[in-house]
């Protein structure tokens, strides 16, 4: 596939032509929200795009869900303390196209400074076929904020595009906390429990999501289950997410998936 090239304005001059970053279509859950809102005639123009990096490889704070797919073979390596496997790593194991797109993005970004990263992301937003008309961007269906510079770059991109809603789940809470009071209003962050910096959630009163293995567990925790990403994208309260994705055979997570299937619990979503 041939990708477009554009010229990007960087630091007062024009950089050479470059290959834009790649964005995906609406994730399945937000596509479901779009259908629901259109049926209610509440919103007719929810246009969603997604941005991803390699699962695990760009998740420095992950513990509970840590898993990595080999860049070449797709073979998955689970983290030593993994409680459930990241669904995005499973996607990469199955799909060379997904692996290639996510590594393309990571390779293009990881050596850049904050300003150049922000310029590259912003320029790519305006030329990518999935992103250029989007009014909602999910940052990281796969991957996470892998350093402070990269986190700061996305904050800058949100400021450049004030009419667009950006949202992200993250375990990199140290980068978020370092910028408390400076997060753009159109960037909705959710702390994803199960990482190295969970203590910061209570310390700073961060909005969080928690993966649960059943509806009863969510009820016991007093958390509503977000079935369509509306709580993540537009909400301000903490919530639960039902376990999903393919889980290792014989694990507690696999048994929970089987139990939800047997109970008729909706925990997976149709593709966008």
Among candidates 188, 180, 103, 92, which has minimal Cα distance to 137?
A: 188
Query: Does some domain include residue 46?
Result: yes
Query: Does some domain include residue 110?
Result: yes
The torsion region of residue 41 among left (phi > 0), alpha (psi -120 to 50) and beta comes to left
Query: Does some domain include residue 21?
Result: yes
Q: Which residues pair with 48 in a beta bridge?
A: 136
Query: Which residue stretches of the chain have pLDDT < 70?
Result: 1-17, 27-44, 244-247, 253, 256-257, 260, 264-272
Two structure tokens written together for 240: 């639960």
Confidence at residue 4, expressed as pLDDT on a 0 to 100 scale: 40
Two structure tokens written together for 69: 């797919």
Distances (CA, A) of 246 to 22, 85, 94, 128, 194: 25, 7, 11, 30, 18
- Which residue in this structure is represented by tokens 């990518």? 128
Query: Does some domain include residue 223?
Result: no
Query: Does some domain include residue 16?
Result: yes
Two structure tokens written together for 143: 């991957």
Q: How far apart are CA 194 and CA 267, in angstroms?
A: 19
Confidence at residue 87, expressed as pLDDT on a 0 to 100 scale: 85
Query: Does some domain include residue 59?
Result: yes
The torsion region of residue 13 among left (phi > 0), alpha (psi -120 to 50) and beta comes to beta
Domains held by the chain: number: 1
Domain interval for residue 167: 9-192
Query: Does some domain include residue 217?
Result: no
- Judge residue 263's burial from the number of C-beta atoms within 10 Å of its C-beta, 0-12 exposed, 13-18 middle, 19 or more buried: exposed
Distances (CA, A) of 257 to 61, 171, 247, 253: 25, 23, 8, 6
Q: At what angle do helices 87-94 and 96-109 cross, to 10 degrees?
A: 110
Confidence at residue 181, expressed as pLDDT on a 0 to 100 scale: 93
Query: Does some domain include residue 37?
Result: yes
What is the distance, to the nearest Å, from the Cα of residue 112 to the centroid of all Cα atoms in its chain?
21
Confidence at residue 259, expressed as pLDDT on a 0 to 100 scale: 73
């Amino acid at each position: 596939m041939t990708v477009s090239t554009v010229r990007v304005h960087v630091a007062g001059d024009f950089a050479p032509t470059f290959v834009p970053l790649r964005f995906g279509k609406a994730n399945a859950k937000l596509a479901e929200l779009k259908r629901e809102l259109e049926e209610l005639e509440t919103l007719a123009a929810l246009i969603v795009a997604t941005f991803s990096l390699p699962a695990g490889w760009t998740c420095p704070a992950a513990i509970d869900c840590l898993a990595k797919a080999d860049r070449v073979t797709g073979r998955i390596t689970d983290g030593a303390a993994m409680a459930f496997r990241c669904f995005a790593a499973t996607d990469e194991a199955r799909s060379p196209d997904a692996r290639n797109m996510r590594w393309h993005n990571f390779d293009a970004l990881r050596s850049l400074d904050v300003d150049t990263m922000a310029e590259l992301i912003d320029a790519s937003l305006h030329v990518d076929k999935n992103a250029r008309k989007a009014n909602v961007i999910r940052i990281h269906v796969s991957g996470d904020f892998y350093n402070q510079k990269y986190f700061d770059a996305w904050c800058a991109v949100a400021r450049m595009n004030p009419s667009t809603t950006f949202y992200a789940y993250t375990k990199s809470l140290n980068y978020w906390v370092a910028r408390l009071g400076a997060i753009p209003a159109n960037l909705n962050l959710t702390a994803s429990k199960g990482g190295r910096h969970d203590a910061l959630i209570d310390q700073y009163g961060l909005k969080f999501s928690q993966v649960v293995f059943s509806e009863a567990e969510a009820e016991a925790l007093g958390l509503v289950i977000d079935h369509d990403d509306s709580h993540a994208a537009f909400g301000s309260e903490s919530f639960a997410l039902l376990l999903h994705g393919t889980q290792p055979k014989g694990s507690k997570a696999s048994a929970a998936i089987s139990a939800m299937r047997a109970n008729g619990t909706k925990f997976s979503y149709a593709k966008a």
